[in-house]
Amino acid sequence: MERDAAKMLELILGMPNVRVLGAEATSALVRIELESTNDTPVCPRCGAEAELLSTKSEEKVDLPIMGRPSRLVVKRRRWRCPTAHCPVTKWLEPDPTDEFPSSPR
């Protein structure tokens, strides 16, 4: 049985490859902050280990939780290829929640 609160929430959400960073519940809504578990991405062209440039957050409407509206705050990272001759300079990681079409996104 899982005892870590973030891991319990990950199990309830049922989204593999997604890490829960935090959650808050108010009387109006539930907000859950997520990111991909891919911490060591490589350049899609040359295979070099990528360097982190920045992070972008996007809030998505999700199904109600405990009768309250919910929002998924998805943190996506922008990476860059350190290889000088590689034509791929930077990219935004895919949204890890796009794999789950059951939610109205």
pLDDT at 105 over 80: no
- In the block, which residue shows the tokens 């109600």? 64
Backbone dihedral angles phi then psi of residue 96, each to the nearest 5 degrees? -70, -15
Dump pLDDT digits (tens) for 33-65.
999 998 889 999 999 999 999 999 999 998 888
Tokens found for residue 105: 């996104």
**Closest Cα partner for 50 from 76, 21, 17, 89?**
89
- CA–CA dist 27, 52 (Å, integer): 36
- Per domain, the residue ranges of the chain are 5-99
Query: Which has the higher per-residue pLDDT, 24 or 2?
Result: 24
CA gap 78, 51 in Å, rounded: 9
